[in-house]
A and B are shown apart, each in its own frame.
Chain A
């Protein structure tokens, strides 16, 4: 049994993948409960899709996706935040326009600039191909997200629950709004190689949604979400190795299975009470 568990790690690429999976799983599922309870799923999806044109232009100029991570995240977060704040067409509509138009622009740029990007890897992730440099970037981003969330936890919680009350108390809600958007964007962009543009949402939302079903306090839902997220990433990686499955979709399906299980547990609990 232990031999089977350790077997994949005879290979360096599997060690790199495992570290990346844990880092991605941790930061996405840490932010997930905030995103779920603030109904920011659509926003997160737009962030992921809006990376495509930036990646296309960046790759054209010789940068890797990892190198583009931080500037792309900040750019997307600030741009999305600005558009939403300064239009009166409704948040969902503004996000929808940005989501679809940026995704379309990305494909057009890939075609015009004739850049070599494996679209399937970008859309669904290819964690087995991460380099040592990629691992450092993802782990670095994970530590930044983790540290910032620990420092600003109370302020972000207050702002998320009662933005008006927080503003009256003197909290800088504009800063907190952009801070969370940037953290979310960083986590999403850093996880593109792990689960890809399409499936990153599953790792952000599903562990958080599952944790919400099995606990009724926010602090514990964050802890459980991280456990679910990391478990999904690592188990998905193992499944991918042993059964020769695509890694991103495997992780996503493990997370979905956990959600299904949590759903059943919550129903059984409700019936019993």
Chain B
């Protein structure tokens, strides 16, 4: 994504977290998390295991209540903003042994609590086809999801989000168990013009190439360590704050250098 593309995006805040705290049992998993994400931004959410990435996503979609603070989606509480968000949870939480087709999964983007019977009208079929075309999988429309690769499956889930026509797309661990080529495919789709107005958050462990891939990065380790442009916020101090004693692993990682030592 080039800087011109980034600058032309609207800068209306769409996800605003103000001191958000989430407790799981007696554990404060998110503590005073504050950030404001503008519409159309592509944001990487990074941090260690247990750093609160999935918890933050769950709070944004209203699956977890806040112990303190607030999260607003286009000025609304998460519970009232469900139609604005499409959430792709970690693949482990989906029943991939279910022998359903790509068409059925993408069609789920059109299912809500008022959807009854099993019919797809022409408009629905068109939306499904258009979404699949956007992710380059129209030829797989009748394929069983068991026959897809990890990368293709993620693209199907992105197509589901497009069918829903959600303004915000949250992808939890979209790059896990996906090879580098498939990661690039996913990023190419996300950075396509027709997704330009959509705010997309991707939780990822991979802190390489963030500047090339994302507009902004949200660094989490139970609290917000930093938020902003990757080139500005991914400092040694922030990385140490996120990964603690393991930060040595990233000591020589900079945006253009990934671990070369001076020895």
Contact = CB atoms under 8 A, between A and B. Distances in A.
A169 interface: yes
B6 interface: no
A250 B85 CA distance: 52
Interface stretch (A2-10, A17-25, A151-159, A251-259): A151-159
A157 B118 CA distance: 10
Interface string A140-163: 000000000011111101101111
B117 A150 contact: yes
B95 A160 contact: yes
A170 B81 CA distance: 10
Interface residues of B, number: 35
A171 B111 contact: yes
B104 interface: yes
A260 interface: no
B162 to A, nearest CB: 14
A150 B62 CA distance: 30
Interface string A92-123: 00000000000000000000000000000000
A89 interface: no
Contacts of B94: 161-162, 165
Contacts of A261: none
Nearest to A162: B94
B19 interface: no
Contacts of B111: 154-155, 158, 166, 169, 171
Interface stretch (A54-62, A128-136, A213-221, A230-238): A213-221
A12 interface: no
Contacts of A153: 117-118
A169 B112 CA distance: 6
Contact of B108 (A152, A161, A172): A161
B72 interface: no
Interface of B: 61-63, 82-83, 85-89, 93-95, 97-101, 104-105, 107-108, 111-113, 115-118, 142, 144, 146-147, 160, 164
Interface of A: 37-38, 150-155, 157-158, 160-172, 212, 215-219, 221
